[in-house]
């Protein structure tokens, strides 16, 4: 599995959002003449946009589409580990730009995506469950443990124990195929959204305090499941890795 990942955000990220990653801003508001007055500038190469025959917005989306193409990640895996990503000019450029824009919108606005509702929560549908009174406080989400054919205890990826009173089942295993920085996006939620205490400072990191919405983490988990599935659907629609012989 390729280790390269591309992830869009509308916030200024820590450089380790993706391990040893690099960030490329669509716009740059730094001053070009040393003055204190920032001027928003588009960082997309005019020369490359002209070669593609696209606007800068379309070019930015085209690049994101190419970076998310599994065949590209596999073919150039060694180069992507040690060098900047180099973007080829491919056939079906418009389709790459169209799907790339859909991926940008999906990843940047992941919190606005509808929660995935084809799961069962305590045996109830999403709509039935959320109309009841529940404690959504989390300590550490985890997969339920089951015995495999060899009798070994393994994680059941289709089930997440949200807290002592909430169990989410029927999670589609396909959702785990969307991997960011070497780990399924769903697993990042389980890893990051838990109560942790720093050993040195003894400061407690409690994600339950991140939002006044008591269902924020619960819905976020279901949204990321939906984002994962939608991302995989869009990636499957990307054209083949074929160079444009006319350029």
Q: Residue 153: helix, strand or coil by DSSP? A: strand
pLDDT at residue 31 in the model? 60
- CA pair distance 59, 12, nearest whole angstrom: 21
Tally of CB atoms within 10 A around 240: 9
Q: Which pLDDT band holds residue 36 (cuts at 50, 70, 90)?
A: low
pLDDT at residue 80 in the model? 85
* Partners of 140 in beta bridges: 194
- CA pair distance 160, 145, nearest whole angstrom: 10
Average pLDDT, the chain: 91
Tell me: the pLDDT tens digits for 193-203?
A: 999 998 899 99
Task: Tell me the chain's radius of gyration from C-alpha atoms.
Answer: 21
Q: Are strands 27-28 and 41-42 parallel, antiparallel or unpaired?
A: antiparallel
Q: Which pLDDT band holds residue 1 (cuts at 50, 70, 90)?
A: very low
Tell me: the pLDDT tens digits for 124-143?
A: 999 999 999 999 999 999 99
Q: Is the pTM of this model over 0.85?
A: yes
Asked if 225 and 171 count as a contact pair (C-beta separation under 8 A), the reply is yes
Termini Cα distance of the chain: 31
Whether 34 shows a pLDDT value over 50: the answer reads yes
- CA pair distance 110, 93, nearest whole angstrom: 25
Strands (E), the chain: 27-28, 41-42, 120-121, 142-147, 153-163, 166-169, 179-180, 183-184, 196-197, 204-205
pLDDT at residue 125 in the model? 97
């Amino acid at each position: 599995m390729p280790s390269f990942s591309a992830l869009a955000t509308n916030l200024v990220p820590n450089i380790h959002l993706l391990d040893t990653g690099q960030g490329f801003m669509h716009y740059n508001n730094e001053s070009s003449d040393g003055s204190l007055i920032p001027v928003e500038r588009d960082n997309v190469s005019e020369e490359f946009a002209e070669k593609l025959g696209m606007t800068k917005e379309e070019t930015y989306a085209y690049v994101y589409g190419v970076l998310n193409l599994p065949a590209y990640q596999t073919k150039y895996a060694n180069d992507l580990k040690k060098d900047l990503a180099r973007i080829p000019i491919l056939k079906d450029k418009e389709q790459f730009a169209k799907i790339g824009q859909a991926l940008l919108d999906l990843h940047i606005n992941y919190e606005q995506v509808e929660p995935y509702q084809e799961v069962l929560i305590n045996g109830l549908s999403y709509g039935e469950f959320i109309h009841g009174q529940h404690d959504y406080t989390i300590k550490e989400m985890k997969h339920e443990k089951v015995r495999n054919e060899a009798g070994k205890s393994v994680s059941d990826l289709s089930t997440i124990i949200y807290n002592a009173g909430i169990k989410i089942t029927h999670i589609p295993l396909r959702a785990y195929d969307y991997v960011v920085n070497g780990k399924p996006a769903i697993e990042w939620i389980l890893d990051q959204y838990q109560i942790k205490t720093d050993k040195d400072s003894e400061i407690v990191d409690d994600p339950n305090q991140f939002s006044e919405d008591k269902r924020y983490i619960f819905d976020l988990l279901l949204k990321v499941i939906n984002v994962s599935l939608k991302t995989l659907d869009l990636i499957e629609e990307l054209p083949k890795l074929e160079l444009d012989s006319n350029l």
